[in-house]
Structure 1
């Protein structure tokens, strides 16, 4: 038994290095996330469109053995003439690098994807020479000489070197994770936005395009902000946008595009506010105004709101529960919430039902006119002009129910002054009197004067 126990102890000692807890595994894994530390790039001269020397500094976490590969992706760099036309690869052993005692270099020319991602997959490959190795933890300095003709197509700064922009380094060395590591730092290349006063803290600089990308609502020349002065340094403020009132159709169902101040006003760039043309309202001039604000005798309502009002003209037999305009029900109309009109006030109920009149007291596009008192024409004995039963309302959309009332200004026996200081006052014809000219005048002999 004693010998068996001693054997078990020896076996545990032998296996101890191979036995790890979950915590040990997590610690070991986290310490090996990156294959390189302190990775930096220096570009001399720090200019675009000219041959440069690229200095890469890095410290590997594992030993780099003979024939191991270090792969560094360097977007925005090209061996070509600095245009959108890619240059050529530089074969292994032909790339001039230093110190050449450790590595052989190869340049892989990238593709010109777009102005925002030029030469996104250009890369430098470094092969450890067959008789060499580099210990872990030792700083490596590699120089790609300017005589190779490699140029920075456009500028770069800290933001453009983020991992998602592709400035990464990796290796296939034994013991490594072969995971891409972002370059930790590098020189700023190019002039950036110096010509735009570095965007005056109102935007960020795109070093590749050398243009300011203004923060929200600042003057960035967004194509939606047509008509606004472009503020390349972000000093001006964008005005709100809305659907253009003057947009032309480009299909059977599409016609309107967004525009600064909805193409119905002028943008005041210093304050970012729209100065709307007469007849338009809203922060982006996106809706119509009501004439004279309905003259203080009505409500300014949208088309969609008016569709729910029994008293809105033209009167309709459709109830408010059935009425829909715009995105409601089966209808669809672009003007539902932006075209507005006046619903004029009235001291009497307006509608098609019993006791209601078909005409409101105030009327006109801006409710500035007022109807005169109404009465039946005294000269017609058989006909009652105020009876609107079965009478089609103006506009032809509805018919008066039994007991519905027609409004007859001045009983047809006078002139109605609808728009002067004496709003809604009758001037009766000779031989008639009363507020609505509803009475015959009687002479001294008791005979009605006609």
Structure 2
């Protein structure tokens, strides 16, 4: 249920909206490990949260300490269970010590989940944002000392915390392009609003991932020194910027130029709260190497300020414009897959043309609208007179094993006549062996004593076929070969192993023929017997070669002689029609 001792477990924090600089509703969910009585405090460290303006000044405390609101100011729900107060953190510590205190107005039972909601009217806002499950958020109960004595080590960290995109003291920050196309020179407009004062000489750095001053073909462009980069537009108070460009590194096989940098230097003081938009002219030749979706970029904006007190900030853009059409012409991946904006293609899920499936189903639609079918080892039919096929390619994996048609609406194979299986990967046994046998592949037949042709292990064992049982009897074709190699058909070629009411084999008391026979096991042998008109015993199969020319019968082995050679067997019924002068079930008497 919980690891190191915790006064609270299953702790979760979520935010609405999860954005920097905007009043947010904070939802705290937790389960007490033990009963928390009325009148206790649950402390919640909301690191990086403030009621202030994020400009280096602290916001005001509120809550239980204030007689006017009696602990309910800004507290949402449930007011009959908690009261709350807020203790504002210090700007110098980046508000990492901000605390919200929950005061219990009733007893909280152990192992019951509780939810407390701090309404956005309280004015709490994230100053910088944070990653998911950020380790700076804590919660504990004021009597944790007692709990510690009972249970030992205490873990106060919130287990699950919703992320707020990092943008710190330059939110909102936007990134737009004109035209918004890959491989095309473009205006680049960076918009941002500093939450703290900037002084002359301060630097704003934009990591423009995937952008280059070159041709976008893998060759690196050039750097631009301060003042060489042409800019358009100024901020509302007329302050201007100097700009430079540091070309990133191209990495073959990946989206390159991940370390390209646009650097802006302020030429005049810039007060907090002033919105700035700086546009880099397209004539500078900077372009996106490939497409990217809206808000897909991981580009960052950083500020290093030497103001008093000094401060710095690194965060993500709150909005970045899409570059390129993405998957618009692919019907936005039909709602089934993810769009790779860079390559303007769909990454479809399994069953709809995933990358691994495209190797076997090259003709499936690339917009994730069609289903793929199961794949198997290709049968690789070879026309007469054609060159000898390459076993590594002619029997590669293929959709429906190249012996069926994929019905893309349902992802099922419609197999050619004589083929069966989800991927048409095997022969179909005729008439399903008529209910008188088992449908088995060649490898399985080699492991069955009753499968014909019968064999002796002493005459068949070799480097390519080997007995593997305790008595060394089975001869298994493809026993040590993985699927898709030279003996691929050992798992694909099927046939019927017919049933018998007597024991089949080459040993003493066994009979070399099964009761049912034929490709589909539809025929039935008649009773057997020794021919009464001969001096030899036709049922004696000692040293006689079994049908198929493989194994030889041992002493006491039996041959099956329909109707004792003195009648005609009706193989549909297994009944003898005896010649004149002969009678008996096996026509063995005269």
TM-score tier after normalising by the smaller chain length: 0.7 to 0.9
1:212 and 1:220 in contact (8 A); partners too? no
1:147 partnered with 2:283 = yes
Corresponding residue for 2:294? Answer: 158
- Would you say the 8 A contact 2:360–2:398 is kept in 1? yes
Question: What's 2:434 paired with?
Answer: 295
What pairs up with 1:126-141 in 2 under 5 angstroms? 126-129=264-267, 132=268, 134=270, 139-141=275-277
Give yes or no for contact 2:361–2:399 (8 Å, CA) kept in 1.
yes
Name the CA shift for 1:32/1:413 in 2 (closer, same or farther; >3 Å): closer
CA distance in 2, matches of 1:122, 1:233: 32
The answer to whether 1:195 aligns with 2:329 is: yes
Partner of 1:439: 589
Cα distance change, pair 202–31 in 1 and its aligned pair in 2 (3 A):
closer
Q: What are the superposed Cα offsets for residues 351-380 of structure 1, whole Å, 9 maximum, x if unpaired?
A: 233332111011122223332322112222
TM-score scaled by structure 1?
A: 0.74
CA contact (8 A) 1:219 1:234 kept: yes
Alignment check: 8 A CA contact 2:295 2:320 kept = no
User: Paired residue for 2:190?
Assistant: 56
Whether 1:389 aligns to 2:525 is no
Q: Paired residue for 2:350, among 206, 216, 220?
A: 216
Rounded to whole Å, the distance in 2 between the matches of 1:396 and 1:69 is 91
Partner of 2:45: none
1:310 paired residue among 433, 438, 449:
449
Secondary structure of residue in 2 paired with 1:385: coil
Change (3 A) 1:346 1:24: same
2:73 maps to what in 1? none
Instruction: Tell me the CA shift for residue 274 of structure 1.
Output: 0.7
1:374 aligns with 2:528: yes
Q: Show the counterpart of 2:421.
A: 282
Equivalent in the alignment of 2:26:
none
SS in 2 for 1:403: coil
CA distance in 1: counterparts of 2:259 and 2:128, whole angstroms: 29
Task: Measure the CA separation in 1 of the matches of 2:412 and 2:428.
Answer: 17
Quick one: distance in 2 between partners of 1:65 and 1:190?
37
Distance in 1 separating the partners of 2:574 and 2:469? 30
Counterpart CA distance in 2 for 1:331 and 1:214 is 33
Distance 1:293 1:338 in 2: 16
Q: Which runs of 5+ in 1 are unaligned?
A: 1-16, 441-450
Task: Out of 203-212 and 214-223, give the one that drifted further.
Answer: 214-223
Query: Corresponding residue for 2:138?
Result: none
What is the deviation of 1:276? 1.0
Partners in 1 of 2:264 and 2:190 — Cα distance? 11
* 1:292–1:104 distance in 2 versus 1, CA, 3 Å: same
* Match of residue 363 from structure 1: 517
SS in 2 for 1:259: strand
Alignment check: 8 A CA contact 1:377 1:385 kept: yes
1:410-435 Cα offsets, whole Å, 9 max, x none, are 323444444xxx44444555654544
Asked if 2 retains the 8 angstrom alpha-carbon contact of 1:325 and 1:331, the reply is no
Q: 1:274 to 1:433 in 2, by over 3 A?
A: same
Listed as ranges, the matches of 1:385-424 within 5 Å are: 385-395=538-548, 397-418=550-571, 422-424=572-574
Contact 1:325–1:336 (Cα < 8 Å) also in 2:
no
Contact 2:174 2:317 in 1 (8 A): yes
Q: 3-state DSSP class of the match of 1:246?
A: coil
Q: 2:255 aligns with which of 113, 117, 126?
A: 117
2:345 paired with 1:345: no
CA contact (8 A) 1:390 1:400 kept: yes
The verdict on how the C-alpha distance between 1:296 and 1:158 changes in structure 2, with shifts beyond 3 A counting, is same
Query: Residue 327 of structure 1: CA displacement?
Result: 8.2
2:204 pairs with 1:70: yes
The number of residues matched between the two structures is 407
Deviation at 1:234, TM superposition (A): 2.8
2:399 is aligned to 260
Are residues 1:96 and 2:230 paired?
Answer: yes
Aligned counterpart for 1:168 among listed residues 300, 306, 313: 300
Q: Deviations 1:255-275 (Å, cap 9, x if unpaired)?
A: 743221121211111222111
Task: Note if 1:246 corresponds to 2:398.
Answer: no
User: Where does the alignment leave 5 or more consecutive residues of structure 2 unmatched?
Assistant: 1-89, 101-126, 131-165, 382-388, 458-467
Deviates more, 1:318-327 or 1:96-105: 318-327
> Alpha carbons of 1:159 and 1:276: their partners in 2 closer, same or farther (altered >3 Å)?
farther
When residues 136 and 118 of structure 1 are mapped into structure 2, their CA distance, relative to the original with a 3 A threshold, is: same
Q: Would the alpha carbon gap of residues 392 and 66 (structure 1) be closer, same or farther in structure 2, given more than 3 Å must change?
A: farther
What's the secondary structure of 2:172's corresponding residue? strand
Q: 2:377–2:488: 8 Å Cα contact kept in structure 1?
A: no
What does the per-residue CA deviation read over 1:144-183, in whole Å, with 9 as the maximum and x for residues that have no partner?
123323333443213632x3xxx2334565766786x333
What's the offset of the Cα at 1:404?
Answer: 2.2
The DSSP-based 3-state class of the residue aligned with 2:587 is: coil
| Partners of 1:116 and 1:274 in 2: CA distance | 37
SS in structure 2 of the partner of residue 160 of structure 1: coil
RMSD over aligned CA atoms reads 4.0
Rounded to whole Å, the distance in 1 between the matches of 2:334 and 2:323 is: 20
Query: What is the alpha-carbon distance in structure 2 between the residues aligned to residue 364 and residue 67 of structure 1?
Result: 95
Distance in 2 of aligned mates of 1:262 and 1:211: 27
Contact 1:95/1:105 (CA < 8 Å) preserved in 2? yes
Compared with structure 1, are the counterparts of its residues 45 and 31 closer, same or farther at alpha carbon in structure 2 (3 Å cutoff)?
closer
The whole-number CA distance in structure 1 between the counterparts of 2:490 and 2:455 is 18
